[in-house]
Each structure stands twice: as structure tokens, then as C-alpha cells.
Amino acid sequence: MAVANKKAVASVATTESEESTAGPVVPRQTAGISISNMLYSFGKKLGTVAAVYLLGYFDLSFAWLLAPVLLSVVRDEWKKDHEARRSVAKAAATRSEREVILARVGDLPSWVYFPDVERVEWINRILRQLWPNVNHYARTLLKNSIEPGVRDSLAQYKLQGFRFEKMVLGNIPMRIGGVKVYDLDLHRKEIMLDMDLFYAGDCDISFSLGGLKGGIKDFQIHGMVRVVMKPLISDMPLVGGLQIFFLNNPTVDFNLVGVADMLDMPGISDLLRRTIVEVIAGIMVLPNKLPIQLSDSVQAEQLRMPELEGVLRIHVVEARNLMKKDISMLGKGKSDPYAIITVGAEEFRTKTIDNTVNPKWDFWCEAAIEEKRAEPVRFRLYDKDKNQDDFLGRATVEVSTIAAKGEADLWLNLDGVKHGTVHVRFTWLTLTADTSALLAALKETQHLRMTSLSTAVLMVYIDSVKDLPGSQSSSKINPYIQLSLGHKQQQTPWKESTRCPVFEQGFTFLVGNPESDTLDIRVINQKSGSELGQLIYNLTGLLEKDDLHVVNQPFPLARAGADAKLIMSMTLRILVPATPPAEDEANGEGEGEGADDAASSGTGGDHSRAGSLRRPPDSPAKSASSTLLKQGSGDSLGTSTAVNNSRTPVDDPMVIATAQPVESVPPGAGSDTSGLHQRSPSVTSSAGEAGLGRIQLTLRYSIQTQKLIIIVHRVANLPLKDKDHIPDPYVKLYLLPDRSKDSKRKTETLKDNLNPVYDERFEYLMSQAELNSSQLEVSVVTKKSWLSSQSPVLGQVILNLGDLGLPKACTIWFDLLPEVPRDS
């Protein structure tokens, strides 16, 4: 009897489990014919017959029939592949966490207990109970937040009128995978946990687009979600609010049905999928968060105001030994590589370098970081092609690792391909309200010669707008706010039919120079596109405020009437380089220990290999960036550099590569050898040891920017061999031993001149390892007729860059020598 009872209980449990996962019982259709299905099938067959008939009737080419058939085959195969993936994902979504883990680790003894799995299953049971309520909230979120964003994005592609008609998420709830609760380095007033969210339910969503009706089935979304409970309060419900956001862009997939099924093919379907991901990223992918207020005692600003931990400055220097993806007539050629850098919802892209597997980008970008423990930097490299770009590899670095060191100079091995490395450099910038740090920040950007870099960060919270123009009886307006600072523009969602919209949204802007930049805020009517009001705020006003902060202050709007006010809060912070590690830590920065930490901590789908960070061959053991912040910020190198005497350097704080002068000072430059002397306007009387003239150069190597900088000042006393043919000289530079076209630099040509003055600056992006193994070929060349049999090279000097290590920049005269044969 006991055994029978156990079997009965097991049977009941099995039945309940099957009912819970299979969804509601659908009555079987025992009789009747679907008129719509019959008409749809008849229309498809009639269209096929009509197409064949018209091809013969109009005597059209067979290609008109072949092209649709091929397109149909490609589309069917593409749909089969995606349907198979969705089926696998849906099967995984309906299983319990225990079943998923057991499927991964294989057969285990029955006595094995998974306490963490039991907790996750407990959460999933709660979700199943709450799913009808979640369903209702999700419909509101889709209608009020997702729909406007998708509609605006599709409008850029001339696809107008997107609107959700029906939104039912079905009976299969989302599933929560592994859950991680943080208990270290947290604020006392918050609780933070990460969870793997996966939804692959039986949703039924219909929409209209440009008069066409369509639907979405088998919608799936997968990503890592962070939930922050803050602030903790003493009254019920003990938690004042929630912040929910994806750590990175989630994976989204779906199947189009109805009339929109014609659009379900590569390209068009990808456009809609990419649009949905972008809209989700704009709502709840870092740095964007979905706030939920749980207590009236908590102000909305506490949940919605951006809270930055710092700014990460990224320098993508170069890549080496990439895969060859372009195919030429003689076999595989090279690639046209570019890199995409992703930090949370932000994405940056380098320029494309044509026809090379060793591109040098010298690309700089900056990302505001709200959660340094949750935002890895992801690098993806591609080969640019006309149809579809080829994948060249990926790499991941944890922001928390960079923030702990302050800076890093890394070579990353690319995953997903056979070979390839990318050279990246990072600087972690912290925030301060000390205005005295602004001058140093401005000098730093000027020293790097990068006007696009930032010196401060501005956080803005738009609360509401009061009393916009227009009477109550006039046509209703749909206002939204557009904010612009520098080249970046952001906006709020529009609010329907109101003169007093409440937005409660936060924004972050990187500021180039707060002493001169302005924040431009415009209130715009979504219906007509007309401007309802404007505020232009000079950031110098914030520099004068206590703690560089204003809270819920009303600002009058221009051209909006006397009563119109914009309620907002603003906080300005100056960017300061993080304190570098201790000297003993810095000395080991380039070694494998710290590098492996950064490489092996990848999350999500990009799992970095241990030890994927390395120095290029023959590079110094100590990382070049370990001295980055110990250098000064001045830069005295210019086109009016002084003549140097006895290797006395120009005062420059950066590490310099310079050459041993052939002669200390040209005649007439003065006898004082204690310092610098202005260059004499008269040319030197010496023609050099070989009698071919002399050339004046300035050479400098900047570790911080990884650049060799050369200034060609002038050439003196070129020989005149024929009075009737005065040379037309120019200076040509090459890097040896490669002597490639990419390394060629040349000055302008000055006609009929034996003492030309150029003062032209040239740069080479190169690592220290390359500098040590390279030579610089400097040639003075004259323009010549193609009938001339003489060499156009008037003189030449070859400098061993690895032997020119001096701590300061120098301007030196070099004797021109006869041209060195190419094969020597």
C-alpha cells in the first residue's frame, strides 16, 4: 500500500509538472475548416502558377524565375538554421536548473546535492507564480518604452508607423540561471546580485509597420542581469528601490510571422533584430538602468541620477599578424582590418586600414564607467568587405583589473582565429570636485595633441518641465527633451499630450573643456518637430558652485513664456589619472602575473585564454606605461626648435630618441655651450664632410603616444654642379629595413634652392620594440626630368633609431653622405 501511495504521489507530481511546463490545455479542433488558411494556401499556389505563366507569355528570360527560386532556397535554409537554434534554446528554457546542470556535467550519483541550484529553483518557482503580473508590466514596458524607440529607429530607414498591436508573453516564464550575491566592497545601503536571465517562451506579439500586419513568435532573449537594491531603509518594504540592467548587450532572436514573414530573411530581419537590441541597450544596458521605485520616501533622483566610478581612456595602437581574408588572383592577399570596441552599451569603431595584416590605427576613445566590476572591454576585429565583413578575432579585458593598476600597456592574443594580436593601452581616470585639477587635465590633453579627449564629466538629471506654451483648449503636444554637448546628443522619450511632462531621466556627458563648453537643452514637440523652448547653460557656472553641484533647480526656458521652467540637477567632476601602483608593483607590470589576471577574467561568451596578454618580441621587461604618470605634461617640441649644442637636450618631459651629432654646432652659431641657441637665419658655411651639404632634424620618441616624431627643419649648402640646373630639393623619409610605401614621408619641393627651409613635422606610430630594431633613412632628393641619367638623390643619412636613446628631444645637424645602394 505504501508503494502504491508513493506511485500515486509521483504520478500526481509528474502530471502537475507537465501541466506547469506545457502551458494551458488547448481544446482540440474536431471539425471545421479554417477559411483563412485555405485562402492563404490557394493564393500561394495561384501566385506560383501566375508567375510561370507570365514568364512564358511575355517571353522573359529564365533568370527571372531562377533568381526568386535561389532567394527562396537561401531564405528557407536560413530559417531552418534559426528555427533549430530557437528550438534548442526553448527546450533549455523550459527545463529546471538541476536538469540543465546535469546535462552539462554528465551522470552524477543520486546523493549529490546542489544547494545553490535549490536556491535558484526557488527563485524560478516564485517567477512562475508572479509571471501573470510580470506579463502585464512587460506589456506596459513594450508599449511605453520599446515601441517609441523601435519606431524612431526604423524611421531612419524609411520604415514608418511601427506599432505593437498585441503583446502576450505567454505562459512559459523566464528562467533564472546562476545567481551571484556580492558581499565585498559594497555601500552599506545597497544589496547587489547578478543573475543569468533567459526567456524563450510562447509569446504572441503582433505589430503593424507601414500598413503591413505582422507578428513575432518564438521571441528569445538571454543575458546577464544585475539587480541593485538601494537604498536600504528602516521602514517597510526595507528596500527603497531597484535598479535593473544588463551588463552587456543581450542576445535577441525571434521569428517573424504573417505578412512580415516575407521580411524574415538575411539583412531585413537582422535590421529589425539590431534595432530591438539598440533600443533595449538604450533602456537597460549599462550605463543605462531600469529604475523601479518601491518607497515614496526615496526620491526618484537617487535611483536615476548617474553614479560614475570613473572614466576609462582606451588607446588602440595597432594589430599584428592578422588573418588574411582577401583573396587575390595569386592566392590569399591581405585584409582591410578595423576594430570595434564595446563597453556596456557604448560602441566605438576605428578607421579601416586597407590592404594590411599589421594595421596601425592610433585610435583613442573614452567610456564612462558606472560599474567597473561589471563592464569588460571587448575588442572585435573585422575585415571590411563589400558584402559581409569577415571576423578577425576578439579579446576581452576586465575594467576592474585596469582600475586596480591605474594604467596598462597590453598585447592581447585574439580568440576565435588561428593567429593575431592587438596592442591596446588603458588609463583609468578617477573623479574629483577639486577645480585645481582642471589645469593639469587640460595640459594632459594638449600634451597628447588629442582635442577629442575629455577633462571632465557632466552628470545631468532631467526631472520635469513646467508650463510649456499653449492653452488647455489648443492642440495637444507630445514634448521631449534633446540635450547636446560637443558632438554628443541624447534625448528623453516623448510624453503624450501634456504641457507639464515628467521625465525623471539621467544622462552622462564627457566634457572637453568645462571653461568653454556649453550644454544645449531643447524642448521639442514630437508631433510637429517645432521647438517649444531652449536653455543654453555655460558649464563655467557649475565651476563656481559648491561641490560643482546643483540639485532640483528650476531654469527658465527661452522662447517658452515667463512661466515655463525646466527642473534638473547637474554634477560636474574633473578627471584625474588614478594613482599609479607602488614601484615594486610597477616593475613587474609587464610580466605575466598581472597580464594573466586581466586576460583570464573574461565573462559571458568571450572567454579569454590564460596568458593571452604578452609583450611584443624584444620589448623591455618593464612596461612603457609604468612611467606614464611619472612624466611631466609639458611639450616644447615645435617647428621653431633651437639648435642644440653638445647633445644638450630640449626641455621635454617625454622619453626621447635622438642622434649623435656629427658636429656640435655649425659655424656662427655661437660659442656658449651651456644651453640652447636660436637658429641663425643665415645658412652654415660648412658643406659637411662629404661636401654634399647638411640637414637639420629634430627627433623625439613619445612613450605615452607611442610615436616617433621627426621635424625636418632645413638643408644647408647643397653643392651646385651645374649653374644652369639648380636643384629643386625635397626631403624623403623611409623606415628600414622594410622600406614600405606606408613608411614613406616627404616634404614639399622648393624650386631652385640650395638652402631650403621646410620646418615640416612627420610622425610614425611604432612601439619601443620596433624603434629599437628600425633605421630611419633620410634622403635629400631633387626633382628631375625622366630623361636624366643621374640619380636624383643629392645626399643621404641613415640613423639607427635603437642607438639614439636620450631622455630629451634634440635638434641636430647631420652631414649628408652619398646614397647607399639598395642591396647593400
Report whether pLDDT(653) > 70. no
Rounded mean pLDDT, 711-740: 87
pLDDT band at 113 (very low <50, low <70, confident <90, very high): very low
Helix axes 35-57, 63-93, angle to 10 degrees: 150
Rounded mean pLDDT, 395-415: 90
CB 327 within 8 A of CB 333: yes
pLDDT band at 496 (very low <50, low <70, confident <90, very high): confident
pLDDT at residue 219, rounded to an integer: 83
Rounded mean pLDDT, 497-522: 92
Report whether pLDDT(417) > 60. yes
Report whether pLDDT(660) > 70. no
pLDDT at residue 211, rounded to an integer: 75
Q: Which comes out higher in pLDDT, residue 763 or 270?
A: 763
Report whether pLDDT(785) > 90. no
**Cis, bond preceding 287 (omega within 30 deg of 0):** yes
pLDDT at residue 45, rounded to an integer: 73
Give the CA distances from residue 804 to residues 733, 771, 772, 801, in Å, rounded to whole numbers and listed in that order.
17, 10, 9, 5
Helix axes 147-155, 268-284, angle to 10 degrees: 130
Report whether pLDDT(665) > 80. no
Give me the chain's average pLDDT, please: 75
Report whether pLDDT(243) > 80. yes
pLDDT at residue 36, rounded to an integer: 64
pLDDT at residue 514, rounded to an integer: 93
The DSSP letter of residue 643 is B
Residue 109: exposed, middle, or buried by beta-carbon count in 10 A (0-12, 13-18, 19+)?
Answer: exposed
Q: What span, in angstroms and rounded, lies between the C-alpha atoms of 573 and 353?
A: 36
pTM of the prediction? 0.64
pLDDT at residue 700, rounded to an integer: 85
pLDDT at residue 643, rounded to an integer: 34
Burial 475-502 (b: 16+ CB within 10 A, else e): eebbbbbebbbbeeebbbbbbeeebebe
For 530-552, write each residue's pLDDT tens digit.
Answer: 899 999 999 999 999 989 999 99
Q: Which comes out higher in pLDDT, residue 628 or 780?
A: 780
- Which bin fits 32, alpha (ψ -120 to 50), beta or left (φ > 0)? left
Least confident of 117-121, 142-146, 634-638: 634-638
pLDDT at residue 26, rounded to an integer: 38
The amino acid sitting at 122 is W
pLDDT at residue 22, rounded to an integer: 38
Q: Which comes out higher in pLDDT, residue 442 or 820?
A: 442
Report whether pLDDT(763) > 70. yes
Rounded mean pLDDT, 607-626: 36
Q: What span, in angstroms and rounded, lies between the C-alpha atoms of 337 and 389?
A: 9
Report whether pLDDT(622) > 80. no
Which range is most confident: 97-111, 263-277, 279-293, 332-346? 332-346
C-alpha grid cell for residue 162?
511601427
User: How many residues does the structure list for the chain?
Assistant: 824
For 127-182, write each residue's pLDDT tens digit.
Answer: 788 888 888 888 888 888 788 888 878 887 777 888 888 888 888 888 887 788 88
Concatenating the DSSP letter of every residue in 543-606 gives HTSGGGEEEEEEEEPBTS-TT-EEEEEEEEEEEEEPPPPPHHHHHTTTSHHHHHHHHHT--TT-
Report whether pLDDT(480) > 60. yes
pLDDT at residue 368, rounded to an integer: 93
Q: Which comes out higher in pLDDT, residue 257 or 528?
A: 528
Report whether pLDDT(424) > 80. yes
Report whether pLDDT(29) > 60. no
CB 281 within 8 A of CB 248: no
pLDDT at residue 521, rounded to an integer: 96
pLDDT at residue 248, rounded to an integer: 82
Least confident of 289-293, 515-519, 616-620: 616-620
Least confident of 484-488, 555-559, 672-676: 672-676
pLDDT band at 628 (very low <50, low <70, confident <90, very high): very low
pLDDT at residue 62, rounded to an integer: 60
